[in-house]
Structure 1
Amino acid sequence: MSDRTLLEVEDLHLHYQTRRGVVRAVDGVSFDVRRNEALVVLGESGCGKSSLAKALMRVLPRNVHQVSGRVTLDGTELLAMSDESFRRDVQWVRMALVMQASMNALNPVVRVGEQVVEPLRVLRQWPRARAMARAVEVFELVGVSTDFLQRYPLELSGGMRQRVVLAMALVAEPELVILDEPTSALDVLTQAGIMNLLKRLKRELGTSFILITHDVATSSELADRVALMYAGQIVEVADAVQFFTEPAHPYSKMLMASVPRLRQEHRPEPILGQPPSLLEPPSGCRFADRCPSCFKRCAQDPKFIRLGDRRRVRCWLYAEGGDR
């Protein structure tokens, strides 16, 4: 881990037990996040993005079959910590999560101000007056009127609720904030406002972000780097400019070709086929059945291949002897 690395994830697995069998939602994921960096985890629905966020924050359902790997936050091994130590010393204090649907994260019968100050009151034992003063600061930071501190979630618009949830995540000044589809239920103008707010917070506070999304356009607004996820695995990690202009993995290329643009000569091209079931994923490359460049070696599970300093691709095309 370098001096600038804040979070390092190595071979992370999160599997669920279901009636039909074990779902391998996160299956050997590795990446890192630097200080004051925004890493976008991009991928289609069902690929394991939200499960990755739950594994990092240890917000796990009861049907967990396996959690393993290494998650290191600034030198602290998180998976080795007891639940009580993690809740007291890491959750909301050093690492916070903004949930996908703001109404699911807010208690409808408690005023939003009381919910925002809860991490300070419970984890840091701050007196109420001091905690509310901090809530006022954070509301001003995220662009919410302090009058809303006394309101209930149902009295706020969707965009305002999303800003309140973001304020809740920022109130204890964590080093890393994980955003799980923070704009998915919002209109286009509100989405733009939230993304501009996140860019300003990153610039002014130096906070690191992991943005989880399926929206290529939204991700390009904030990303410093992109980790593309497919069928429970990360298949490419690259700087944002490289990824959006010169994607390397076949799935990356097809994904970018499917995005509509204002000025383009060709129509967007759909990605045909379906991703594999995570109950019984194939033993080789998981994208092989949809890949136009598939060849014999793809029957083996591909390993990450480095293309430059910080670019890695999980594809045999870039191995020695691969047909690029």
Structure 2
Amino acid sequence: MSSGSLMEIEELRLRYRTEDGEVFAVDGVNLELRRNEALVVLGESGCGKSSLAKALLRTLPRNAYPPSGQVRLAGENVLALSEEQFRRQIRWTRMALVMQAAMNALNPVVRVGEQVAEPLRIHRRWSKHRAMQRAAEAFEEVGIAPDFLQRYPHELSGGMRQRAVLAMALVTEPDLIILDEPTSALDVLTQASIMNVLKRIKNERGTSFILITHDVATSSELADRVALMYAGRIVEVADAELFFTRPAHPYSQMLMASVPHLRQKEHPKSIPGRPPSLIDPPSGCRFADRCPKRFARCSADPPAANLRPRHWVNCWLHSRGDS
């Protein structure tokens, strides 16, 4: 485990059983997350981003096989823990989740404050009074007046509900918070406000984040590093500034070319075709059918090519010295 590393993921795999066959949702993912770092996992819908979050937190649907590989949190392989050990020692104490749809994450008939305080009462055995005091502090951290602790979820706006769910994740002061499309249902101004809250928390408390999203513009506000996911695999990992300005993988380049910019003369370009099925993924490079730079070697799986420290790409172009 490298110095300053909080989490190391090695060959993580997750499959689902379906009527049509097995879905290879996460297929050999390797990632590293350092302390006080925000890692953004980007990708199109259906590429396996949310399944990656479910595998890390072990919040799996019934049709999922147990994930395989290793997930080392501060050196400990948490995938080797039993479900009871993971629930007591890891989930919501050292790793927490902010879900995409805040209304679905909140119980509509329980006051918001009680729900935010609940992890402290369950995992730390705090009294209700002490837990509610800490919940009020968490509300202030995310920019909600403590008076709203007594409200029900339907009495809060969409942005306030998302902040309340963030407060629920923060209340136990975990090392890592995983955010699964946390701003997708919010307007642009509210999205920016939530991103500012996350940046402040990261700077003030040293919390690490994994942000899962398809929104390039929003992710750039928080990202220290970017991992691009395609068809269940990570195809490029780089520092955020480098990824957004000089992406290396053809998919990364085409994705950035599809993003509109205020001062660019060229129109955004679409990416032709569609991602392959994860029930029967193709052999070789999974982006090959959509790639304008495809050549003969793309029929085999590309190795990881290290372009510079902590920047690697799975592409034959770079493995053979081309760009």
TM-score grouping bracket, smaller chain normalisation: over 0.9
Q: Deviations over 1:266-308 (max 9, x none)?
A: 1101000010000000011000000000000000011211011
> CA shift at 1:103, angstroms?
0.8
Alignment partner of 1:147: what SS? Answer: helix
The residue aligned with 1:222 is 222
Q: Deviations over 1:131-180 (max 9, x none)?
A: 11101111111101111101110110000000000000000000000000
The residue aligned with 2:292 is 292
> CA shift at 1:2, angstroms?
1.5
Q: What stretches of structure 1 move > 6 A for 4+ residues in a row?
A: none
The residue aligned with 2:40 is 40
Q: Percent of counterpart pairs with the same letter?
A: 71
Does residue 71 of structure 1 match 2:75? no
Contact 1:116 1:164 in 2 (8 A): yes
What's the C-alpha RMSD, in Å, of the aligned pairs? 0.7
- Equivalent-residue separation in structure 2 for 1:173 and 1:164 (angstroms): 15
Amino acid at match of 1:47: C
Alignment partner of 2:293: what SS? Answer: coil
Amino acid at match of 1:287: F
Q: Kindly tell me the number of residue pairs found equivalent between the two proteins.
A: 323
Does residue 61 of structure 1 match 2:61? yes
For residues 259-298 of structure 1, the aligned pairs below 5 Å read: 259-298=259-298
- Equivalent-residue separation in structure 2 for 1:172 and 1:223 (angstroms): 23
Contact 1:176 1:207 in 2 (8 A): yes
The residue aligned with 2:121 is 121
- Equivalent-residue separation in structure 1 for 2:140 and 2:3 (angstroms): 32
For residues 1-324 of structure 1, the aligned pairs below 5 Å read: 1-320=1-320, 322-324=321-323
Contact 1:43 1:214 in 2 (8 A): yes
Contact 1:7 1:73 in 2 (8 A): yes
Contact 1:178 1:210 in 2 (8 A): yes
Contact 1:16 1:66 in 2 (8 A): no
Amino acid at match of 2:251: Y
- Equivalent-residue separation in structure 2 for 1:286 and 1:103 (angstroms): 35
Residues 86, 153 of structure 1: alpha-carbon distance in 2 compared, 3 angstrom cutoff: same
Q: Deviations over 1:92-133 (max 9, x none)?
A: 100000001001110011101110011100111011111111
- Equivalent-residue separation in structure 2 for 1:187 and 1:136 (angstroms): 26
Alignment partner of 1:307: what SS? Answer: strand
Contact 2:39 2:225 in 1 (8 A): yes
Stretches of structure 1 lacking an aligned partner (at least 5 in a row): none
- Equivalent-residue separation in structure 2 for 1:317 and 1:97 (angstroms): 37
- Equivalent-residue separation in structure 1 for 2:156 and 2:263 (angstroms): 37
Contact 1:22 1:65 in 2 (8 A): no
Amino acid at match of 2:315: C
Amino acid at match of 1:87: R
> CA shift at 1:65, angstroms?
2.9
Stretches of structure 2 lacking an aligned partner (at least 5 in a row): none
- Equivalent-residue separation in structure 2 for 1:139 and 1:323 (angstroms): 51
Alignment partner of 2:140: what SS? Answer: helix
Contact 2:303 2:319 in 1 (8 A): no
Contact 1:305 1:314 in 2 (8 A): yes
- Equivalent-residue separation in structure 2 for 1:119 and 1:90 (angstroms): 12
> CA shift at 1:323, angstroms?
3.9
Contact 1:195 1:222 in 2 (8 A): yes
Amino acid at match of 1:211: L
> CA shift at 1:67, angstroms?
1.5
- Equivalent-residue separation in structure 1 for 2:20 and 2:172 (angstroms): 41
> CA shift at 1:66, angstroms?
4.6
Q: TM-score, normalised by structure 2?
A: 0.99
Q: TM-score, normalised by structure 1?
A: 0.99
